[in-house]
Structure 1
């Protein structure tokens, strides 16, 4: 086995299961799970219908590159969503379908990192989606963490990275809107990072899987390719974006997303994926085409999340400081006691499961930015979110 396996940390939900292991919650209170970012809104009928209509496609091997119609649909969606003129995105060379962003975010590092170079570095935000760290470690690179703190609106401070780290950096993961904070990197932040990438010759992997869950309909989060184009980087050099239908279309079980950007990088990544054996099934491709073409269900999806945020915050605002992030469906709540104790006692008293922030972060530069926070995913139905808010309010009042 690869010796790098020993460097992997237990996954956050494995730690959470251990934290709850010996606790028996009250039987008179129904369980409410707000720990995992798994959407529970209904998957649109147009996705289900397309799957059923194209089940005959199971008799055929899919290609790694995917159907031309799917890649064309994705290219058109990128152009519409990020205000990039039509025909700038080449669906033949700059778009690849993937089986959800998780597998792509991981495998991209395996393809990209050159471990023969001295001490390769992969930079990532802290807290973070643990796939970034695992991808770096298994690719033989050193993770370098960028603490995202309240003072900087939970955004990474690229100026804080020493030059010697930038010089060894081969890949940086950014997540905007952020998990778990919901913070959004603006165009100026993207511009700074793009200039650094050009200076030090590293690749930017922009995880944008929450980009369609936002509060202000007139101010959607910007994307990395959007900023690159506005800067004149029309070939999107050193840029790859990762998008998914899991959150946007409430279809996590579909395992469908895409990567897009720098054609030279995607040429090599396509070859890697050909050997990796991760082609998207044809029924999934046809369902994805319909999902990327339709925006009505996405607008409704955002409305439902806004409704839940408003109700949840209205209840908790009396007992704690709680704010709605500009995007995502997470509340990044400060806790008056240790985050692990908070999660344990909340489960024991109220039968509500939330995720301790320290499970999503690492001690770095003398700080663990996840300490004394919990991540609350407002994925449950509205009535459950309201019930959860009332129970959390009662719990906070009991402390």
Structure 2
């Protein structure tokens, strides 16, 4: 058989790659897993009652565009969170998890040619791996832009050469960033939007970590787009309940953008897509409308971030994350540090290189490890202490 070439050069996905790296190494001590950003804090207890009350909804096909109540709840949340009005029927699209949207948005929005050339899709480096696969799926050239300490752990898209920007159809940006926890400022968003207007590309703003922060609420792309009077089609926002509400398995996310972008997303799902099951949409309606559990969740992460700040404050090169729930820790070699930590302490982390690509002179994640702060505090504290003692002495 002959297979397509477009995905032939993909590196192994991060977690199978990690299993291969650690294969045959037997840890010393009780294992502590800090690899996957899968939330472990309790979700609101009352969601079980909502599912039970709507069990009959598993029978019929769910509404493709989301229930009117779910779209309204998301629209209300956007108004509360970002201070902008996005009509529920025309500018909101509920997703089966944001990964669905981040992939399908490129299929729906990225043009086949840009200025009569192969289009470019920009992505930060390191990055959420779906960005690159989406670019390859539409035949675009993925361009990996370093997000390093020197650039504030956000990509400097304006520094790219004009020949790249003239071909750019889409750029992905994650704020708060995964894995570094950096937050785009108002000026960063305004400059990126101005760049997108100048070179006529669409910004895909991945803000899935926006509700896990210390004190200052991260500025959102939609807020700044409205303030500068940008075309609503210029920015597409993605967010979800996964991190905000500890419901990654619920798979409730959304995209919000201009009416034409949302129309194209809906049209694509009519042919190839899977909406959320109706009882789960009913749960999501209530979850998006409740902030009490979000603040309680945020308080738990603040405690963990504060503990990490104090523990690692003397480590050279350590940058306390502004938001999110990852530590991006400097090491001499990410793979070697990961093996040492697993073998000697039973603490499992992810080599930073597995989240990046070799581009523009190297892989920006090569000298980092990523540790997720999702475990309960009584497990996390000894795990982080063991990590510090093992790697930093």
Describe the SS at the equivalent of 2:145.
Answer: strand
- Is 1:329 the equivalent of 2:329? no
Corresponding residue for residue 22 of structure 1: 24
Corresponding residue for residue 12 of structure 1: 14
Q: Whole-Å Cα distance in 1 between the matches of residues 391 and 58 of structure 2?
A: 52
Corresponding residue for residue 157 of structure 1: 156
Q: Whole-Å Cα distance in 1 between the matches of residues 291 and 65 of structure 2?
A: 25
| Structure 1: segments with no counterpart, 5+ residues | none
| Structure 2: segments with no counterpart, 5+ residues | none
- Is 1:297 the equivalent of 2:293? yes
Q: 1:145 to 1:60 in 2, by over 3 A?
A: same
- Is 1:180 the equivalent of 2:179? yes
Larger mean CA deviation between 166-175 and 384-393 belongs to 384-393
Shift, 1:115, TM fit:
2.9
Describe the SS at the equivalent of 1:174.
Answer: strand
Corresponding residue for residue 41 of structure 1: 41
Alpha-carbon contact 1:126-1:147 (below 8 Å) kept: yes
Q: Whole-Å Cα distance in 1 between the matches of residues 48 and 219 of structure 2?
A: 30
Shift, 1:49, TM fit:
2.5
Q: Whole-Å Cα distance in 2 between the matches of residues 48 and 160 of structure 1?
A: 50
Describe the SS at the equivalent of 2:21.
Answer: helix
Shift, 1:105, TM fit:
0.6
Shift, 1:102, TM fit:
1.0
Q: How many residues align?
A: 389
Deviations 1:263-284 (A, max 9, x none): 1111111100111131111011
Larger mean CA deviation between 58-67 and 239-248 belongs to 58-67
Shift, 1:316, TM fit:
3.5
RMSD, matched Cα: 1.4
Q: Whole-Å Cα distance in 1 between the matches of residues 313 and 391 of structure 2?
A: 11
TM normalised by structure 2 equals 0.96
Q: Whole-Å Cα distance in 2 between the matches of residues 274 and 259 of structure 1?
A: 16
Deviations 1:55-98 (A, max 9, x none): 111112112111111101100100110122xxx31110100100
Q: Whole-Å Cα distance in 1 between the matches of residues 314 and 167 of structure 2?
A: 48
Larger mean CA deviation between 2-11 and 199-208 belongs to 2-11
Corresponding residue for residue 260 of structure 1: 256
Pick the aligned partner of 1:312 from 298, 308, 324: 308
Shift, 1:318, TM fit:
4.8
Alpha-carbon contact 2:158-2:195 (below 8 Å) kept: no
Q: Whole-Å Cα distance in 2 between the matches of residues 388 and 80 of structure 1?
A: 37
Deviations 1:179-209 (A, max 9, x none): 0001011111111111111121111100000
1:341-380 to structure 2, matched below 5 A, reads 341-380=336-375
Q: 1:167 to 1:318 in 2, by over 3 A?
A: closer
- Is 1:393 the equivalent of 2:388? yes
Describe the SS at the equivalent of 1:5.
Answer: coil
Alpha-carbon contact 2:50-2:279 (below 8 Å) kept: yes
Alpha-carbon contact 2:337-2:391 (below 8 Å) kept: no
Alpha-carbon contact 1:46-1:290 (below 8 Å) kept: no
Alpha-carbon contact 1:20-1:344 (below 8 Å) kept: yes
